[in-house]
Structure 1
Amino acid sequence: MKIVDWYILKRYLVTFGMMILLFVPIGIMLNLAEQIGKMIDNEAPLNEILIYYLNFTIYIGSLLFPIFLFLSIIFFTSKLANNTEIVAILSSGVSFGRFLRPYWIGASIIAVLMFFMGMFIVPNASKGYNEFKYKYLKKGKQDRVTSNIFNQLNENDFIYVSSFDPARKIGYNFTFEHFDQENQLEYKISAANIRWIPKDSLYRLTSYSKRKLVNETELLETKRRLDTLFTFNIEDLTPVSYIAETKNLFELNKFIADQQRKGASNINTYILTKYKRWALPVTAFILTIIGVAVSAVKRRGGMGVNLAFGIGVAFIYIFFDKVFGTLAEQSGFSPLLAVTIPNLAFGVLGLYLLKNAKR
């Protein structure tokens, strides 16, 4: 049986690799045809374009890994079924569960690859991909929230700006409030704007005023301009919308803990990104189960019927994943449930289809 195991495992991995080599270059060419005009208009350097498409390959390829995996399983398993190879294997006394072992090994290899890439390689590629996109392809469009920004720095300090210009690193109508241990306002700093001065590594406040309460007496300090230091980074006022995608496993955990402490309003988006990374390897096993169950039986329509059914299931899975993801990001729905429900539902579907395939 080891010969058969190696035969199936080889077909599994080779077909998966061929899917990637076939469709990723097509995706690059379609993207290039669509974006080449913007790249020329915005004078994107050739070296940055080449780096962008390297990051594009990793970023888009990782998103499509589950689909490539699913279609490759259906493709080569359908060929085995049409050639009656599966019937021959099972007729030799091999159980259906034993027949599945090389599939589990293949799924394990792909799952480890997905995990490693999703946690450590894709975040860096995502950063380069999105930075290029907003610099040259979506030039002038904001990649973050820039109005009515509120942040809790720690248990005692809060900041607010009515608007923020990320290009010039200026926040307007700045307010900094400090509370004591009894949750009473100790002092409040206001300024028409706050600007980061990189050369001097400090902040410059314009039309500065500070109100401080001392024994129920209010002390007022005003200056036309004040250069000072704060413990926060001005980029942290409003992180880019894709910030969670650019952080590896350890950075993302730290970032989420920091945002939870600050009371960030979009914390569910960051948590959802974290859970999706952990769920992606599980998806490899679920899609393997469904793929084998759908294509292991020889059908009258042949491979075409299996591929059509498989593509339909894949699109339904993506639809459910997007729906629950949107619910988690915009309506306070639990990110853990948003990731678990589609995988659980399709896991049950896969086991049901596999049970029928055994018959």
Structure 2
Amino acid sequence: MWEKLKLGIIDRYIIKMYLQTFFYSVLLFTLIAIFIDISEKIDDFIKRKPPLSVLIFDYYIFFIPYFMGLFSSVFIFLSTLFFNSKLAQNTEIIAILNSGLSYGRFLRPYLIGSGLLFVMFIILNTQLLPICDRYRLKFEDDWIHERRVTQNNNIYNMLNDSNMIHMESFNYADSSGFNFNLESFANGKLVERTFANRLLWNRQKQCWTFETYSRRLFVNDREVISKGARMDTILNLKPDEFFVKTNYVSSMTNPELNAYIKKETNKGNPQVNKYKVELYKRTAIPVAFFVLTILAVAVSSGKSRGGVGVHLGVGLIITFTYLLVIQIFNTMGNTGVLPPLIAVWIPSLVFFAIALVMLKRSPK
């Protein structure tokens, strides 16, 4: 049994070249991405003049892992396709199969290589890349974005199971909201409603202040109304919570993101599907490495008259199709058309089915 699991010379060669080609492609495309990013942001850099050390060590050193994680599945597919296509063009695959090795056995070192990258990117996606993203986003806020969002409109929020708020608008500059409503429920019935023309955050007291407010208590089919000019109160909310950007969710590690999703679900945040899509993608993308590796090997195993270029051309079409399918289903998950978990995993299942069909048709 152990002899069957032992890696042979061909296995070690394929794994080595598989990983080598992957990291070379990551390096090449990352350098291209950096040049493109610099060209897009050059006006901001000239205008705000960030120090070179800040630009390198506070931004681009964190931009690299961000870009690598974002397109890791594409790098896997194209690098596998390129390497395997070269084997096919040199008739090495034919020689390997003629030696008595089955096609399934030929696939094994590719899957081992995928497994190594799977483990690496699971750790990166769930723990390390979110931390890197914090620094990247902070740099963009400090040096790139000219304006920050200062107002949020039409806010609905569940503070807990029994308290819900609605506010017409909230201004971050002075931490004030307008036309604020707080509704309290008990056993599914409305028991209290508070309305305030203006809501203010008191930084010294760390509490909220109602201005020109009215309170309605509903007790035993009776309504008790009280009014006032000003009242301090405590709510399970801070001003920053009205302005959490969706892309900042990418800077949360998995435990942080799970806790945040639970909190926002309890509040009734309509953006929670986007957060779930981000969470599930972190596992789904590394799993797709296996699918895309099988597909790349199946597509490029046959010797082509056009050489490696034909396989790369087909590969680019598949790559763009894959990215389009992911974008479509992610949007469906974000908007609630499909449950986020299903929306994230459908592309991998679709391309796994395609990979199996291609595998059966590939020359053996």
TM-score (norm 1): 0.91
Matched, 1:34 2:54: no
Q: Is contact 2:160–2:266 with CA below 8 Å preserved after alignment?
A: yes
Cα distance in 2, alignment partners of residues 90 and 350 from structure 1:
20
Query: 2:293 maps to what in 1?
Result: 288
Cα distance in 2, alignment partners of residues 96 and 158 from structure 1:
60
Choose which of 259, 263, 268 in structure 2 pairs with 1:263.
Answer: 268
Taking a change above 3 Å as real, the CA distance of residues 217 and 309 of structure 1, as seen in their structure-2 partners, is: closer
Query: 1:173 maps to what in 2?
Result: 179
Query: 1:159 maps to what in 2?
Result: 165
Taking a change above 3 Å as real, the CA distance of residues 339 and 94 of structure 1, as seen in their structure-2 partners, is: same
1:146 is paired with a residue of what secondary structure? strand
Query: 1:117 maps to what in 2?
Result: 124
Choose which of 50, 55, 60 in structure 2 pairs with 1:53.
Answer: 60
Query: 1:91 maps to what in 2?
Result: 98
Matched, 1:101 2:111: no
Taking a change above 3 Å as real, the CA distance of residues 76 and 217 of structure 1, as seen in their structure-2 partners, is: closer
Cα distance in 1, alignment partners of residues 175 and 140 from structure 2:
20
Deviations 1:195-229 (A, max 9, x none): 33344422233334433345524131413x43432
Letter in 2 for 1:248: T
Matched, 1:277 2:287: no
Taking a change above 3 Å as real, the CA distance of residues 226 and 121 of structure 1, as seen in their structure-2 partners, is: same
Choose which of 226, 242, 264 in structure 2 pairs with 1:220.
Answer: 226
Letter in 1 for 2:33: G
Deviations 1:260-293 (A, max 9, x none): 2222212221222222122111110011001111
Query: 2:330 maps to what in 1?
Result: 325
Taking a change above 3 Å as real, the CA distance of residues 44 and 205 of structure 1, as seen in their structure-2 partners, is: farther
Q: Which moved more, 1:325-334 or 1:296-305?
A: 325-334
TM-score (norm 2): 0.90
Taking a change above 3 Å as real, the CA distance of residues 286 and 276 of structure 1, as seen in their structure-2 partners, is: same
Cα distance in 1, alignment partners of residues 21 and 326 from structure 2:
25
Query: 1:133 maps to what in 2?
Result: 140
Q: Is contact 1:96–1:358 with CA below 8 Å preserved after alignment?
A: no
Deviations 1:178-202 (A, max 9, x none): 22x2333333333333333344422
Choose which of 350, 354, 360 in structure 2 pairs with 1:349.
Answer: 354
Deviations 1:77-103 (A, max 9, x none): 111111222122111111111111110
Matched, 1:203 2:208: yes
Q: Is contact 1:151–1:237 with CA below 8 Å preserved after alignment?
A: no
How much does 1:341 deviate? 2.1
Gaps of 5+ in 1: none
How much does 1:175 deviate? 2.0
Deviations 1:95-125 (A, max 9, x none): 1111111101100011111211111122223
Query: 1:229 maps to what in 2?
Result: 234
Cα distance in 2, alignment partners of residues 196 and 241 from structure 1:
24
1:333 is paired with a residue of what secondary structure? coil
Q: Is contact 1:213–1:219 with CA below 8 Å preserved after alignment?
A: no
How much does 1:295 deviate? 1.4
Cα distance in 2, alignment partners of residues 37 and 240 from structure 1:
24
How much does 1:347 deviate? 0.5
Taking a change above 3 Å as real, the CA distance of residues 39 and 169 of structure 1, as seen in their structure-2 partners, is: farther
Taking a change above 3 Å as real, the CA distance of residues 126 and 334 of structure 1, as seen in their structure-2 partners, is: same
Query: 2:194 maps to what in 1?
Result: 189
2:246 is paired with a residue of what secondary structure? coil
Gaps of 5+ in 2: 1-6
Cα distance in 2, alignment partners of residues 160 and 275 from structure 1:
30
Query: 1:247 maps to what in 2?
Result: 252
Number of matched pairs: 356
Query: 2:4 maps to what in 1?
Result: none
Identity of aligned residues (%): 35
Cα distance in 2, alignment partners of residues 48 and 191 from structure 1:
45
Letter in 2 for 1:26: I
How large is the Cα RMSD of the aligned pairs? 2.2
